[in-house]
Amino acid sequence: MSMKFKPIAIVGYSLFLVVTSSLITVLYYHLFVFNTFAGDNSQTQSLREVSREQVVSSPIKEDHSIIEVMSYGCHYCAANEEDLAKFSRSLPAGSVFKTIHIAGGGSGLAAYAPIFATLTEMGVEEQYRDSAYNAIIARNIDLNNENALVSWLKKNDIDVEKYQSVRQSDAVKQRIDDMADITRHYAINATPMFIINKRYVVAQDRDFPEFAQRMQKLLKKDN
């Protein structure tokens, strides 16, 4: 015997699911992204400190490090390039500044991670980063479209055959997996973000050089 439900009951149940889902999402966001209920009133959306357990299990291998998480589709990341290059040269001896691309599901900004990984394995990513920013952000070229990608590679005198070969390599797949692990471990869904000493997740909330000074302070805090 089939069961029949009144339309009002169906609507009510659907509304209940929507509200419940929304509340769970908000609670998750505050608990795990911004640590609103961590008991530290100094923590803001621009600075999040992960637990000691998360530091120990971090997929980041480098100690005394600042990891920039960027995206080719992020105009704020593009605007930071010159300042970050200068900042990285000012870091104390023994410190590491490294750039990775946001990767994995949950963010459209992650779509270009395979391009970043391939160019990095080819040893030319930094050389063509500005061109990638310009193509995607300024010229609205979809580099995930194969024809558009090949055209961009040729325009930049990048060996297309070599690119296609490297793109299929285990090294590129591993690099994408590593970037996705970091993205997931630190619950990153926006760019640019900076992970300092595996412990602090920092969003840029002020202009350079003030922001550089803030990162320097956090880097030295645990050293």
Measured CA to CA, the distance from residue 221 to residue 132 in angstroms comes to 35
Same domain membership, residue 126 and residue 20 = no
Same domain membership, residue 6 and residue 80 = no
How far lies 119's CA from each of 124, 159, 181, in Å?
5, 11, 19
Query: Distance of alpha carbon 92 from its chain centroid, rounded?
Result: 24
Q: Are 202 and 215 in contact (CB under 8 A)?
A: yes
Same domain membership, residue 144 and residue 102 = yes
Domain annotation covers residue 192: yes
Same domain membership, residue 184 and residue 99 = yes
Same domain membership, residue 137 and residue 216 = yes
Q: Are 82 and 210 in contact (CB under 8 A)?
A: no
Mean pLDDT by 10 residues, the chain (223 residues): 47 40 38 38 69 96 96 94 94 94 89 98 98 97 97 98 98 98 95 96 90 92 67
Q: Are 186 and 198 in contact (CB under 8 A)?
A: no
Q: Are 114 and 108 in contact (CB under 8 A)?
A: no
Residue where the block lists tokens 């946001």: 102
Measured CA to CA, the distance from residue 82 to residue 198 in angstroms comes to 24
**81 φ, ψ (degrees, to nearest 5):** -55, -50
Same domain membership, residue 7 and residue 81 = no
The type of residue at 121 is E
Domain annotation covers residue 38: no
Range of the domain at 16: 1-33
Same domain membership, residue 119 and residue 23 = no
Domain annotation covers residue 39: no
CATH number at residue 120: 3.40.30.10
Tell me the two tokens of residue 85. Answer: 């290059």
What angle (nearest 5°) sits at the alpha carbon of residue 52, between those of residues 50 and 53?
100
Domain annotation covers residue 54: yes
pLDDT of the residue at 36: 34
Integer-rounded Cα radius of gyration of the chain: 21
pLDDT of the residue at 205: 85
